[in-house]
């Protein structure tokens, strides 16, 4: 008689797993800590009740107002004319699917002339997607040049795990890394050491850090952006995220301590060692790295602008007049020059098309 199998023991909480790893193997790069806290078993983004929205920890602009989705849908219809057929739409990092739902609802409500359009959603974490949207479980499912239309992301890159690089005061202008360790009481703490991988120095793109200056940089930015770029046959690659061109991102006068931030209940602070797996962790993106990667893949840069200009260019104002008051108020938040409208940058790159016929206004460059 076969003995019954013993039940599997539940995986220990993230904090216990991280402590055990450090006790066993020594300090870990912050990228390892961040990846586990956000994406590991029981991690922040694996929660069933994603805390996004006014009642959660943070708001994403693309899901905050249905008018954002309508503006995206309007741009898709304009792409139809430019491409000579229905434009595909792939949202990378679809999250809860709120933006996709608004895009799909707008197209179904107003459009009957573009049958065959594909609406696709991909995310590292599998979640329900709106009706009419096909799930992409792995980007490898899409062949090179498999998208003719638009690939879109919103706050995808700022959630990729970062290493914390630090400038050193030695005569050669050396570079170190800030690791995660445990203090005598078993609490997480910072520990400066050598680079966990010499290749991390390449993330600076030839820039240097002042002694004591910290830069939070993700090795995953370029590879993921290149993956998306390769899948675009003709159309637009649109990336909305917190970030700056490299010279501003690494400006020691204003960013001596890096850009790592934690969000909980719409409040931002700088301590990633509290509320582990219960708070969001982000860092601003090196937009120069994305621009260079896209251009190396054959894309043309059309604009690097602010969210407020992007939405105006896509025709958001056309929907404001007849929108309900609550939607108008939410849309104003998207355009706010002291909030998301200013802080979110929009990188627009293209393959095989120009900006002609796509936008209501000329998109200005942003610094």
User: Are residues 226 and 113 part of one domain?
Assistant: yes
Bridge partners, 122 (sequence order): 92, 136
Q: In this predicted model, what pLDDT tens digit does every residue of 77-89 receive, in sequence order?
A: 999 999 999 999 9
Query: What is the structure's pLDDT at 64?
Result: 61
Q: Is residue 357 part of a domain?
A: no
Longest dimension (CA), the chain: 76
User: Are residues 105 and 85 part of one domain?
Assistant: yes
pLDDT score of 3 more than 70: no
Q: Is residue 14 part of a domain?
A: no
User: Are residues 176 and 196 part of one domain?
Assistant: yes
User: Are residues 265 and 179 part of one domain?
Assistant: no
Q: Average per-residue pLDDT in the chain? A: 88
pLDDT score of 102 more than 70: yes
**Close Cβ partners of 299 (under 8 Å, ≥ 6 residues apart):** 229, 232, 237, 349, 350, 351
- Domain encompassing residue 38: 19-44+163-215
CATH number, domain with residue 120: 3.40.50.12710
Q: In this predicted model, what pLDDT tens digit does every residue of 133-143 receive, in sequence order?
A: 999 999 999 99
Q: Is 105:118 a contact under the CB 8 Å cutoff? A: no
Banded model confidence at residue 281, pLDDT cuts 50, 70, 90:
very high
Query: What is the structure's pLDDT at 146?
Result: 98
* Percentage of the chain exceeding pLDDT 70: 84
Q: Is residue 361 part of a domain?
A: no
Domain boundary among 182, 200, 215: 215
Query: What is the structure's pLDDT at 67?
Result: 85
Q: Is residue 32 part of a domain?
A: yes
3-state secondary structure of 63: helix
User: Are residues 89 and 40 part of one domain?
Assistant: no
Q: Is residue 36 part of a domain?
A: yes
Query: What is the structure's pLDDT at 140?
Result: 96
Query: What is the structure's pLDDT at 296?
Result: 98
* Percentage of the chain exceeding pLDDT 90: 71
User: Are residues 71 and 180 part of one domain?
Assistant: no
Q: Is residue 174 part of a domain?
A: yes
Query: What is the structure's pLDDT at 58?
Result: 46
Query: What is the structure's pLDDT at 126?
Result: 85
Domain count of the chain?
A: 2
pLDDT score of 13 more than 80: yes
141-164 burial, b at 16+ Cβ within 10 Å, e below that, comes to ebeeebbbbbbbbbbbbbbbbbbb
Q: Is residue 258 part of a domain?
A: yes
Q: Is residue 356 part of a domain?
A: no
């Amino acid at each position: 008689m076969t003995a019954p199998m013993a039940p599997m023991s539940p995986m220990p909480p993230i904090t216990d797993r991280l402590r055990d790893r450090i006790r066993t193997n020594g300090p870990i790069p912050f990228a390892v800590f961040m990846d586990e806290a956000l994406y590991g078993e029981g991690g922040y983004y694996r929660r069933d009740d994603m805390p996004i929205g006014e009642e959660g920890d943070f708001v994403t602009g693309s899901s905050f107002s249905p008018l954002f989705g309508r503006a995206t849908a309007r741009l898709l219809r304009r792409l139809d004319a430019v491409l000579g057929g229905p434009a595909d739409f792939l949202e990378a990092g679809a999250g809860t699917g709120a933006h996709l739902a608004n895009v799909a609802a707008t197209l179904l409500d107003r459009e009957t002339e573009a049958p065959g359009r594909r609406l696709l959603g991909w995310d590292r974490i599998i979640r329900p997607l709106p009706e009419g949207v096909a799930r992409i479980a792995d980007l490898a499912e899409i062949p090179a040049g498999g998208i003719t239309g638009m690939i879109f992301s919103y706050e995808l890159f700022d959630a990729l795990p970062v290493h914390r690089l630090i400038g050193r005061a030695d005569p050669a202008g050396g570079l170190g890394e800030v690791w995660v360790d445990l203090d005598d009481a078993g609490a997480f703490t910072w520990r400066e050491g050598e680079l966990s991988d010499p290749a991390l120095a390449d993330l600076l793109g030839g820039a240097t850090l002042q002694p004591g200056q910290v830069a939070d940089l993700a090795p995953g930015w370029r590879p993921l952006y290149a993956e998306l770029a390769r899948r675009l046959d003709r159309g637009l690659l649109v990336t909305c995220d917190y970030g700056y061109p490299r010279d501003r991102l690494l400006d020691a006068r204003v960013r001596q301590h890096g850009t790592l931030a934690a969000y909980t209940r719409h409040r931002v602070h700088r301590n990633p060692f509290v509320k582990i797996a219960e708070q969001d962790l982000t860092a601003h993106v090196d937009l120069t790295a994305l621009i260079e990667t896209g251009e190396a893949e054959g894309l043309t840069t059309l604009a690097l602008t602010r969210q407020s200009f992007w939405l105006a260019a896509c025709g958001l104002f056309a929907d404001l007049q007849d929108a309900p008051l609550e939607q108008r108020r939410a849309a104003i938040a998207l355009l706010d020059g002291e909030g998301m409208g200013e802080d979110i940058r929009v990188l627009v790159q293209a393959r095989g098309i120009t900006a002609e016929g796509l936008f209501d206004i000329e998109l200005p460059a942003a610094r």
